[in-house]
Amino acid sequence: MINNSWAIFTVSSQSARTTFAGVPYHIPNSADLEMWIEVKSGPGIGLTVRTVGDTSGAMGPETSFATMAMGYAGGPTPASLTAAMTDGKSKVFALAKCIVNEDFCSFIMPAGTGATQISKKDLRKAHAQAIKAKSGFTDDCSAHDSSCSECLSNANCGWCSVPVSYSDGTTGTQCAGQQTGSTPFVCPGHYSTLGCEVGYICTSTLECVATVPGDGMPLSVCQATCIATPPPAPTLAQYSCNLTNQQCTLCTNPPCPGSMPQVQCTELCPHPYPGPTPALLGVWRGIYIQQRYSIGEVDFVFNSTGCSIYKDGVFFLYATIISLGSDVMLFTVVSGAGKGTTFGTLYQMASEDFGMYFQMTMAIGKTGAGFPADFNTPMFTTGMQEVVLTQCMKAPCSFTTY
């Protein structure tokens, strides 16, 4: 977890989980996104961890991706992402985060990491200290962010209904100043220096109610946006592909194994392919991302006929595969958990770190119930799953085979 004032890293292995937290500082105009973290808790406390990164790769349907090389506490900045893979001291991470404003993706920190134990007061203090320490940053008002009334009690300070943005790209607090020498800022909400005006928030019953003075939005804005979500689109009829005659038939008694919408079935059914497509062969390491996901590593190892799945290094199942086009697969489990069952998958691949590795997002349908219609539905549907997987494409990136 990284925000403007705090960074918490949890690194898990099969035998242990390590967590450290600190205050992040980005290096302005750094071509490789260099960031320093002053460690405040966990291993390396009192030292600085230096990182470099890359975010130039393609996005997935639910997540965006980043590559980060992290040096050891107190050590130098990694020379590059590639060098960090072989220097023996750095660690390189393939990271994913939920796309902003993506309604169905929600990541949480593991229990006990401290992410839920840091008080709001501590975060405000760390936030104010961090942004003040940025090169060239000046705004004494940022430290008076505990409430609107405290902010306005200080000369030349004003309160924004949401955090302000400074001209250097820094996100500030809700208290920002107009005094001479202060860094220019923009308040994307409502800014006041005269009083803590009443704002409004939209409740779960779609009513606009007054909130803490100084926060919220004007009543007119609340009323314009506090409306019911349109009803979901009707469920599409599902069709099953007969792999013998390569014809699609209507599913009249769902769930139908291998079913999909008619347009998708008509396109894919005439061209089944035994086994996964060649682009998938090899080891893919990843994590589940659907809501209420289990924390831990899941690995997919594809060969020419099927796929072995491991959870935290332990064999889970092996399934044969039939590919329908370049993004849909039908798994038939022949050993391990769920032997004799089938499930359908939909997948999408993205190149990262200039082709060093690929990220694959895979939506997994319910057992015996066909293919996911999209990537959104498995994110919130019980019995369905979604996983983000990583495969090395060129040296020095290399994953050990099972």
Report residue 37's pLDDT band, with 50, 70 and 90 as the boundaries. Answer: very high
Question: What is the distance between the alpha carbons of residues 66 and 58, in angstroms, rounded to a whole number?
Answer: 10
Domains recognised in the chain with CATH numbers:
7-98 (no CATH), 120-192 (no CATH), 238-392 (2.40.128)
Q: Return the DSSP state at 141.
A: G
Helix ranges (DSSP H) in 106-250? 120-133, 148-152, 219-225
Q: What is the mean pLDDT of residues 206-234?
A: 82
Report residue 134's pLDDT band, with 50, 70 and 90 as the boundaries. Answer: very low
Q: What is the mean pLDDT of residues 143-170?
A: 86
pLDDT surpasses 80 at 112: no
pLDDT surpasses 80 at 325: no
pLDDT in tens, 229-270: 777 667 778 888 877 788 898 988 876 656 778 888 888 888
Q: How far apart are the first and last CA of the chain?
A: 31
Instruction: Quote the pLDDT of residue 374.
Output: 87
Residues 366, 255: contact at Cβ < 8 Å? yes
Residues 184, 143: contact at Cβ < 8 Å? no
Instruction: Quote the pLDDT of residue 327.
Output: 85
Report residue 2's pLDDT band, with 50, 70 and 90 as the boundaries. Answer: confident
Instruction: Quote the pLDDT of residue 119.
Output: 45
Closest C-alpha to 77, from 43, 30, 44: 30
Instruction: Quote the pLDDT of residue 125.
Output: 52
